[in-house]
Structure 1
Amino acid sequence: MSRRRVPELLRDRAFRRYWTGQTVSLVGDQISLIAIPLAAVLILGADAAEMGLLKTAELLPALLLNLPAGAWADRRPHRRYVMIATDLARAALLVSLPVAYAFDSLTLIQLYLVAFSIGALTVLFDVCNVTLLVSLLPTTRYVEGNALVNGSRSMSGLAGPGAGGVLVQVLGAPLALLADAFTYLISADRLRRIDPVEPPPAPREKGHFTAGIKWVVRDRAMRAMFGASATVQYFNFMFHTLFLLYATQELGLSAGLFGAMLSAAAVGGLLGAVCSGVVVRRIGIGPSITAGFAVFTLPLMLVPLASDPSPVVVGLLFVAEFVSNFGVMLVDISGGSLQLALVPDQLRSRVLGALRTLTHGFRPLGAITAGFLGSTIGLRPTLWIGTAGAVLSVFWVLFSPISRMRDLPPPRHVVPTDPTDPTDEAVGEAAGEVVR
């Protein structure tokens, strides 16, 4: 590959090391996503209820711990050390599973504890990661940096499940987890080899714990992003809860064909990561976010339109997922870049923790609603509600200052006035600074 084709950021040694570690770790996460449930089913004979408990143990930390983890992380002077420690701890937890299996002492209780603990450590890693990423990037590189990171996430979704399936097939589920443990060690080593100047920790203040939530609610741009994200989370989880059931039972698709369609459609996410920078440069950061939510949600309405099993139906499902995956990447990259610019350094982890706590809370609500409506009014009507409802997310950003933003605002390094009362007057209107 010629030097001209290498993304500019990857020529920076510190960012390249950071990105390499995260890319490898994301692929490893996909291995665990397959290997841990297979260990529960194939080795321990877990039933549906026990698998539900395992999934709950995996997801619960994101709902319960994002807010306190964000508040704690903002008080730490060296978030990178915390991230290294979480990588090493997650590797040790994964290694404990094949060790227990070797001594014939592996239990479901251990799987529950490991799944919950890894989830908790991942929450802590992520709230520190957002601050470290900003330390590695100038404002002008936020979109490019987010594109590279999200491109790795999309690529891991393509390569990870296949690699995980092969490893489980060849080595067995417990031993396959050693590969994921090794990726955490690589991530820790890459983080050890960089030394960016991190923002100073937040001072002691009244309302430290709730400052992130207050910021999200009172800043107009952040409030719009939260409203759009929460709307998508609720209605999209209604959709995805029933999508597989609808495709296999009512449309008659085989599990293999359905899986192949999803894998092929995942290329749309990779394409979105590649093209996002061009889109933002052409139409601006705000219109990119607005377009991203529209492209994410509108194509999924093709799914309840599909009726009889045929190649045309499979094509409709493929187009819906492919284009929607493109939109997801556009939202994640442009929206994530805007959030990096809007949030002051000393509030960064708390705001991320607040956003994830609030939006993750809508996921189980969407799933519960889908189950109730699907069993009462039917699968297709419920899918119509889920897909049409998700489109409402567009209006949150369309009628907010975000839609008029052309460029990213200057980063806010210091919390203005009272950080526990970030009114629009105190923080300044985000759009007012950048509207063209």
Structure 2
Amino acid sequence: MPKGTPSRPGLLRDPDFGRLFAATALGQLGDRIVFLALPLVAITALHADELQVGLLTGTTTVGSLLIGLPAGAWVDRIRKRPVMIAADLVRALILLSIPAAWWARLLTIEWLCTAALLHGLLTVFFDVAYVSYLPQLVGRDNLVEGNARLSAVRSVTGIGGPAVAGPLVGWAGAPAALLASSAGMAASGLLATGIRRREERLEAVGRRPLARDIREGLTFVLGQPVLRATIAGDAMFNFFLVLYQTMLLVFLERTIGLGPLGIGLVLSGMGCGALLGALVARASARRLGQGRVIWLAPLVTCPPTALMPHARPGWSLYAAAVGLAALSLGGVVRVVSQSSLQQALTPDRLLGRMNATARFVSWGGVPLGGVLGGVSGALWGAGTTLWIGATGMTLSSLVLRRAGRGATM
């Protein structure tokens, strides 16, 4: 199928996109199990306090700050698929080290943070290559559909991952649950080896300094008002989202009294919201316009997250879980429009650097958000921290509105 071919029956009829879709499903299933099991290893197996949980979140996400910009410049110089495959396979080995260390009675919070750091660094390379690879695989005319379909499979695994991880953690323990994550990552990398479409020939760069490529990417992104505004709004949203998420599992486990199964069900509800978001993302972008969707989605769906600090066992917890599902719905609707808009505004040769710059800025404050979430939880409690996170996520819509205005002009 030629690149950019109309895909009315759906991109899934393209064998190469189908392989990427299946690889995404398995990799994301493993990733969603990590999202639940990794902090639960710290909370339940190592009995970490709030500050240590915050530090774990910080080390998980600090990769973008450390290597985000050079990763994008480097990925733009090479083919993307081998980067994705290598990152998946090495991440699988890193995750495998955690249950191995647990069974050998060697696992400590330092080991866990080191594994989280290495996993996060490799995730930077994977994500930059993955987002830069999609336009070449499906063609720019099919970006919204491609992003929507991949968001849909991520949403399904957002439902299935916690639903599997909760009972698995309860039955085998959080460290052992990471075996499933490792298997999913490995299977994702192996599936990606079957994609046959060749990437376009890359521009010869010779001995051009890497710093020059980084500067070119920064100049392009900062010179585009729409890109600049979307990334700034994203940075604010992600900072407060991670601050919120850092204390969410602590609140559910220690304040509400939920076990791994109950926590898994709450996170599965978030996956249901994300799946619904993926199903309506294309229609929302078509009806409202990508620019409006980018800021309206967080404005409407972030305030319900403030229900969680008031939740207690019973109906108030169910209402708060619906609020989390709304957050996921709005997040997917926004990201589909935002990613498609960013990819459409960027030439192929700069895609890696644009995505890396966006990730560097958008995720640069995330480690600080994780640490401050832990500090806030230790000082004022998990409930107050959730309030702060909910307020900040809602206010990010004001920054994203600037991008929406620029995109609709």
TM-score range, shorter chain: 0.7 to 0.9
Alignment-mate amino acid for residue 280 of structure 2: C
Query: How far is 1:329 from its partner?
Result: 0.8
CA deviation after TM superposition for structure 1 residue 26, in Å: 0.9
1:344 maps to amino acid: P
| Residue of 279, 284, 303 corresponding to 2:284 | 279
CA shift, 1:113, in A, is 3.8
- Aligned with residue 391 of structure 1, among 362, 379, 394: 394
CA 98–386 in structure 1, closer or farther in 2 if over 3 Å, else same: closer
Cα displacement string for residues 349-370 of structure 1 (whole angstroms, at most 9, x for unaligned residues)? 1222222222222224445556
Which residue of structure 2 aligns with residue 154 of structure 1? 155
Query: After the TM superposition, which residues 161-310 of structure 1 pair with which residues of structure 2 at under 5 Å, given as runs?
Result: 161-169=162-170, 175-199=176-200, 200-201=202-203, 203=205, 204=208, 207-241=212-246, 253-255=256-258, 260-302=265-307, 306=310
Question: How many residue pairs get matched?
Answer: 394
Q: Is the 8 A contact 1:131 1:198 kept in 2?
A: no
| Partner in structure 2 of residue 350 of structure 1 | 353
> Is this contact kept in 2: 1:216–1:226, CA < 8 A?
no
- Corresponding residue to 2:323 among 312, 320, 323: 320
Q: 1:24 aligns with which of 4, 23, 26?
A: 26
What letter matches 1:361 in structure 2? G
Which of the residues 58, 73, 88 maps onto 1:71? 73
Higher Cα Rg: structure 1 or 2? 1
What letter matches 1:235 in structure 2? F
Question: Retained in 2: the 8 A contact 1:38–1:173?
Answer: yes
Question: Cα deviation per residue 1:144-165 (whole Å; 9 max; x = unaligned)?
Answer: 1111212222222221123234
What residue number does 1:127 align with? Answer: 128
In the alignment, the residues of structure 2 paired with residue 184 and residue 379 of structure 1 have an alpha-carbon distance, to the nearest angstrom, of 32
| TM-score, length of structure 1 as denominator length | 0.77
Q: Whole-Å Cα distance in 2 between the matches of residues 262 and 39 of structure 1? A: 17
Which segments of 5 or more consecutive residues in structure 2 lack a partner in the other structure? 1-7
8 A contact 1:135–1:196 mirrored in 2 = no
Cα distance, 1:170 vs. partner? Answer: 5.0
Identity fraction in percent: 34
Check conservation: 2:75, 2:352, Cα contact below 8 A: yes
Contact 2:278/2:333, CA 8 A, preserved across alignment: yes
Contact 1:246 1:380 (C-alpha < 8 Å) held by counterparts: yes
1:323 alignment partner, SS class? helix
Tell me the distance in 1 between the aligned counterparts of 2:237 and 2:133: 27
Q: Structure 1 CA distance, aligned partners of 2:247 and 2:148?
A: 30
Q: Deviations over 1:97-120 (max 9, x none)?
A: 555666x37443654443322222
- Distance (Å, rounded) in 2 between the aligned partners of 1:380 and 1:32: 24
Matched, 1:9 2:14: no
Superimposed CA distance per residue, residues 317-367 of structure 1 (whole angstroms, 9 cap, x where no aligned partner): 234222222111111111111111112222211222222222222224445
Moved more, 164-173 or 83-92: 164-173
The corresponding residue for 2:5 is none
**RMSD of aligned Cα (Å):** 3.5
Q: 1 CA distance for matches of 2:144 and 2:271?
A: 21
Q: Matched residues in 2 for 1:189 and 1:195: separation?
A: 13
Return the alpha-carbon distance in structure 2 between the equivalents of residues 375 and 18 of structure 1.
42
Q: Is the contact between residue 162 and residue 264 of structure 2 (CA under 8 Å) also seen in structure 1?
A: no
Per the TM alignment, residue 241 of structure 1 is displaced from its structure 2 partner at its CA by: 4.7
CA contact (8 A) 1:228 1:396 kept: yes
Provide Cα deviations, 1:258-314, integer angstroms capped at 9, x if missing partner: 76445334411110111111112222222222322323334335557x5x8585633
Q: Per the alignment, do residues 244 and 96 of structure 1 end up closer, same or farther by CA in structure 2, a change over 3 Å counting? A: closer
**Matched letter for residue 195 of structure 2:** I
8 Å contact kept, 1:276–1:333: yes
| AA matched with 1:321 | L
Q: Give the whole-Å Cα distance in 1 for the aligned partners of 2:153 and 2:93.
A: 24
Is the 2:61–2:366 contact (alpha carbons within 8 Å) kept by the matching residues of 1?
no
Output aligned runs, 1:70-149, within 5 Å. 70-76=72-78, 78-97=79-98, 104=104, 106-108=106-108, 110-149=111-150
The answer on 1:360 being equivalent to 2:343 is no
Give me the whole-angstrom Cα distance separating, in 2, the residues matched to 1:101 and 1:368: 25
In 2 relative to 1, CA 176–72 (structure 1 residues): closer, same or farther, beyond 3 Å?
Answer: same
Secondary structure of residue in 2 paired with 1:207: helix
**Residues 74 and 202 in structure 1, CA contact (< 8 A), matched pair in contact too:** no
Higher mean C-alpha deviation, range 114-123 or range 234-243: 234-243
Residues 1:23 and 1:202: Cα distance change in structure 2 (over 3 Å): farther
* Contact residue 295 and residue 326 of structure 1 kept, 8 A: no
Q: Distance in 2 between matches of 1:375 and 1:37?
A: 16
TM-superposed CA distance for 1:377, in Å, is 8.0
The answer to whether the aligner puts 1:341 opposite 2:344 as a matched pair is yes
